[in-house]
Every structure is written in structure tokens, then in C-alpha cells.
Amino acid sequence: MRKDLLYLGIILLVIGVVIAGIATVEASGRTETIGTSMKIGSIGVYYSDELTVSSNGSVFVTGNTTTYLIPSQDLNTVNSTNVGSYAIHPTTPSGNSIIYDGLSGTYYLVAFGQHPPLITYAVLGSNLSQLVVYGLLIIVGAAIAVIGVILVIIGAIIRSKFTPVHQF
């Protein structure tokens, strides 16, 4: 039983590390652009670098300023009064985080104000739901690896009940 626990623990440890590792590599490969700075256009207008979103990609924005996702061809015609007619509507607006999902093309993030906005944005090469799946796989792989470590420790320290006693 001791060896069985030890072998099972080693197998689970390896499987867990492989699952978590592959999911981590896949998830990190889906993030194409991460940025935090915005350039000043005309007075009170700030815009990001051009964001190229591959087919069915996503843009994730978090910060304390209202930002708008604008198709790149409309950047020069946008101002604070007409931005609503050019802006792409977010898939999931929630507090300080905004997600634009299912995009394809080139875009800019635009903000208006007296000071540069404090935001972070990321262009994700695939649908956000795929990244959630990778995140869950990382958690599952880590849990399996932890169980494997526990079984290895138990298998290494327990002793058989029926240890023969040597008499002289």
C-alpha cells in the first residue's frame, strides 16, 4: 500500500504539472498586447496605440477613466460630443473593467479629460471564454499536483502494519 500511494502520488504530480503547464503556456500565448499609456491628441483627447485584434479576439480594459473603443478609421473624426456614435459597445461592462469580445480589426482606445487616464488594456488573441477555460485548467492542474505531493509524502512516511520483529 505504501508503494502504491507513492506511485499514485508521483503520477498525479506529473499529470497536474503537465496540465497546469500546458494551460499556462496556451493562456499566455493568447495575450498579444498589453499597454498602460495613452498619447495626447488634441487638447483633452487621449488615445492608445493602435490595437490589432485578430479574428474573434477581445479587448480588456481596466481603469478609473471612461474610455471608448473606436475603429481606427474613425479616430480623426471622434470628439467628446459624437463619440457615442462611433464607439463599440462593450460586451461586459462591470465597474472599472470593460470587455469587448468577438472583435476583428484595428481599434484605438479614446478618453477625454484634463489629465492622462490611468488605464491598463490587453488585446487577447482569442475569445475571453477560452481564457477562462485555461484559467480553470491551471487551477485543476495545480490541485492535482498538490494532491500528488500529499500522496507522495504520505507514501514516503507511512510504514507497513506488519513489520516482523526479529528475535535473537
Residues 146 and 103 placed together within one structural domain of the fold: no
Instruction: Tell me the pLDDT tens digit for each residue of 14-56.
Output: 999 999 888 888 776 665 667 777 778 877 888 888 888 877 7
- 143 and 154, same structural domain? yes
Domain assignment present for 72: yes
The CATH number of the domain holding residue 119 is 2.60.120
Q: Where are the alpha helices (DSSP H) in the chain?
A: 2-29, 83-86, 128-157
Average pLDDT over residues 60-71: 86
What pLDDT is stored for residue 73 in this prediction?
92
Residue 163 covered by a domain: no
* 151's grid cell: 500522496
pLDDT the model gives residue 71: 92
Percent of the chain predicted with pLDDT > 70 = 85
For 96-125, what is the mean pLDDT?
Answer: 84
Mean pLDDT of 82-97: 82
Q: Is the pLDDT of residue 127 over 80?
A: no
88: which residues sit within 8 A by CB, 6+ positions away? 68, 69, 70, 71, 100, 103, 107
Q: Tell me the range of 55-59, 128-132, 133-137, 159-163 where mean pLDDT is highest.
A: 133-137
Has residue 165 got a pLDDT over 70?
A: no
For residue 24, tell me if it sits in a domain. Answer: yes
The answer to whether residue 126 scores a pLDDT higher than 70 is no
Full-model pTM? 0.58
Instruction: Please indicate, yes or no, if residue 167 is contained in any of the structural domains.
Output: no
Nearest to 110 by CA among 82, 134, 145, 147: 82
Is 160 a residue whose pLDDT tops 80? no
Q: Are residues 109 and 139 in the same domain?
A: no
User: Can you give the pLDDT at residue 15?
Assistant: 92
Would residue 42 count as lying in a domain? yes
Q: Is residue 168 part of a domain?
A: no
- The structural domain count of the chain equals 2
Domain that holds residue 8: 1-30+132-158
53 shares its domain with 66: yes
As a whole number of angstroms, the distance between CA 51 and CA 59 comes to: 9
Do 20 and 38 lie in one domain? The reply is no
